[in-house]
Amino acid sequence: MKKLLLVLLALVALPVLRAQSVSGPDGRLAVTVSVNGGVPTYQITYDGVVLLEPSPLGLKTDIGNYMEGMELTSSAQSPVEDSYSVPTIKSSAVHYKANKGVFTFSKGGKAVMEIIFQVSNNDVAFRYQVLSINRDTKVARVWEEATGYVFPEGTRGFLSTQMAPMSGFARTTPSYETPYVEYDKLGANGDGHGYVFPALFRVADKGWVLVSETGVNSNYCGSRLLGKADGSYVIGYPMEESYNGNGTVAPGITVPGFTPWRTVTVGRDLKPIAETTVTWDVVEPLYEPSIAYEGSKGSWSWIIKGDGSTVYPVQLQYIDFTAAMGWQTVLVDALWDTQIGRENMEKLAAYAKEKGVRLFVWYNSNGYWNDAPQGPRGIMNNIIARRKEMAWLRDLGVKGIKVDFFGSDKQVTMQLYEEILADANDFGLQCVFHGCTLPRGWERMYPNFASAEAVLASENLNFSQHRCDTEAQQAAMHPFIRNTVAAMDFGGSTLNKVYNVNNDLSRRGSRRRTSDVFALATAVLFQSPVQHFAMSPENLTDAPAWAVDFMKDVPTLWDEVRFLDGYPGKYAILARRSGDKWYIAGINAQEEPLEVKLDLSFMGSSAVTVYADDDALQGSCKQQNLKKDRSLKVRIPCNGGVVIM
């Protein structure tokens, strides 16, 4: 009888709740959390329209299976507000306002897991907290995550496939270097390994949904999306074989402890997708910057001239070129350790300093996880060698490092990224990563994190004519997908006609299909606080003066972004503000010329400078006045661009 009473009391203590909702501040976006046959679920609506159908939630850990037999036993709501400034992201001043709902789930009458939702006007962020099951339990392994995404019938996907582990160049994959493809129906699983974040979906004619994750650091792994035959997706952890099998797939956490944030951004159009800051809204700086890190522009010889150009005389030319452009940096890419040598690197750094230029210096992340042969190797993976090297770089006045060839999303790799960043901050160095994972909130978490590749970047235009032929189509994806959640080091905006040493059309090399104005437009569309453009010294004489002059002045730090028009893979028009100056940039990948009337009433002046292409992709720059209603009609031919200042 006493026992029964205790059981009854326990049941009274944990009343089982029905579906609970939390809405954004303006009431249009709502998340409903519920339990369906013991499985926690969430549903997302916007203006009452279902954009995500009831989708599973839950974790399977070594201290308990929280994917089934669960009860929702309490929920609490509170407002969240934060103002912050991160100079290296798309908006310099962000005001974040959301409603937070904390949902407690119990199993066997005991609270074991919380799911925390933060809902702003167009973004949902949620994460799990695994609770202690008793006083002695301090750690857990997370074997599996049930988090799913069930889209309504008729949803299309814009997805980049997860690369097979230990494949590609020198077994360096996965490295987020596959194209984004529009799928008119869901239900596949990429090449068998799912898809990378971020992923964009168009829910019939009802709205857009961008799915990603943020706040991933050494406390967890990076995740991917696994596609199921029914068209839904579920969170997948890293691939066992990646990183040459080193490191675990299932992350380890302390308990009580959190998973990273899953994010879902929604809108009737692409405006909230292109303008979202959710990636940074829900994370915190993990350390103080040791110096004030700046944005910068620079050049790099490797992108056009290849491995053979990482030699002393060519780097001198690029220092002169960067100085002539009024830029700040030269990136000395792979193989400098053997082709230039440390003594000459010191001379280069000294020469650069005379010219008002600073160096970014390349490193291999390896290590013992892939076969990438380029040196220097064996430095960035080891704390003793790394810190000694970084002290040398600081003494040389080097501005930052570019570390390449990571190829894993495992927790052990996330720890390596974090340790490189934290050490580099001690020596006042900015970090750019290549051959890497998607940065997940890192601009705010690590103030010296500058940018990352994690995209089918400009090197592929050099490697392949097909990539040149589809350059505009891919470029029209990034503002709405990859680049909207993190800085993207594309390394582009070339003014060469052909990818070879002397820009010589009579010789071999991929032919650029896009126009010079397109190159200028991508310098604005592709956001990265540190840019190394694919321009070369020859462009001072072989490219149009108006294009070179534009590239001298284009900002790399922005205060604000506005979506004006676009469709992923077809065309993209954004406005970015730097101080009181607006730059409107558009590109078109469609066969037919794009004609749009832009409402530019937000610009301070009606006298504008317009860079535009004729139908033969011949660019020009002219002064124009906006119409009385402050509008401007633009025409962008296929593979062309427009920039309005």
Minimum separation from the CB atom of position 217 to Ca ion (A): 23
Q: What does DSSP say about strands 39-46 and 71-84: parallel, antiparallel, or unpaired?
A: unpaired
What is the rounded distance in angstroms from the CA atom of residue 453 to the CA atom of residue 490?
6
The window from 106-114, 202-210, 380-388, 427-435 that contacts Ca ion (CB under 5 A) reads 427-435
The window from 145-153, 196-204, 432-440, 625-633 that contacts Ca ion (CB under 5 A) reads 432-440
Residue with Cβ nearer Ca ion (447 or 492): 492
Minimum separation from the CB atom of position 331 to Ca ion (A): 13
Minimum separation from the CB atom of position 172 to Ca ion (A): 8
Residue with Cβ nearer Ca ion (117 or 176): 176
Residues 6+ positions from 4 with CB-CB distance below 8 Å? none
Residue with Cβ nearer Ca ion (303 or 340): 303
Minimum separation from the CB atom of position 386 to Ca ion (A): 21
The window from 131-139, 358-366, 429-437, 607-615 that contacts Ca ion (CB under 5 A) reads 429-437
Residue with Cβ nearer Ca ion (54 or 435): 435
Token readout for 441 is 């909130």
What is the rounded distance in angstroms from the CA atom of residue 337 to the CA atom of residue 313?
15
Residues 237, 437 contacting (CB under 8 angstroms): no
Residue with Cβ nearer Ca ion (276 or 522): 522
Residue with Cβ nearer Ca ion (428 or 435): 435
What is the rounded distance in angstroms from the CA atom of residue 307 to the CA atom of residue 374?
10
What is the rounded distance in angstroms from the CA atom of residue 435 to the CA atom of residue 86?
25
Task: Count CB-CB contacts under 10 A for residue 286.
Answer: 17
Range 433-452, binding Ca ion (CB under 5 A): 435
609 three-state secondary structure: strand
Distance between the two ends of the chain, CA-based, in angstroms?
81
Name the β-bridge partners of 576.
561, 583
Residues 119, 31 contacting (CB under 8 angstroms): yes
DSSP per position, 356-373: T-EEEEEEE--SSS----
The window from 102-110, 136-144, 430-438, 567-575 that contacts Ca ion (CB under 5 A) reads 430-438
Minimum separation from the CB atom of position 166 to Ca ion (A): 16
Backbone angles phi, psi at 25, to 5 degrees: -55, -35
The one-character DSSP state at 505 is T
What is the rounded distance in angstroms from the CA atom of residue 528 to the CA atom of residue 297?
10
Residue with Cβ nearer Ca ion (71 or 489): 489
Residue with Cβ nearer Ca ion (272 or 435): 435
Residue with Cβ nearer Ca ion (170 or 181): 170
Range 200-219, binding Ca ion (CB under 5 A): none
Q: Which residues of 22-46 are buried (b: 16+ CB within 10 A; e: fewer)?
A: bbbeeebbbbbbbbeeebbbbbbbb
The window from 115-123, 131-139, 431-439, 562-570 that contacts Ca ion (CB under 5 A) reads 431-439
One-letter amino acid at 210 equals L
Residue with Cβ nearer Ca ion (222 or 435): 435
Residues 403, 277 contacting (CB under 8 angstroms): no
Minimum separation from the CB atom of position 304 to Ca ion (A): 15
Interface with Ca ion (CB under 5 A), residue total: 1
Token readout for 25 is 């501040």
Minimum separation from the CB atom of position 436 to Ca ion (A): 8
Minimum separation from the CB atom of position 61 to Ca ion (A): 35
Minimum separation from the CB atom of position 478 to Ca ion (A): 15
Minimum separation from the CB atom of position 453 to Ca ion (A): 5
The residues binding Ca ion (CB under 5 A) are 435
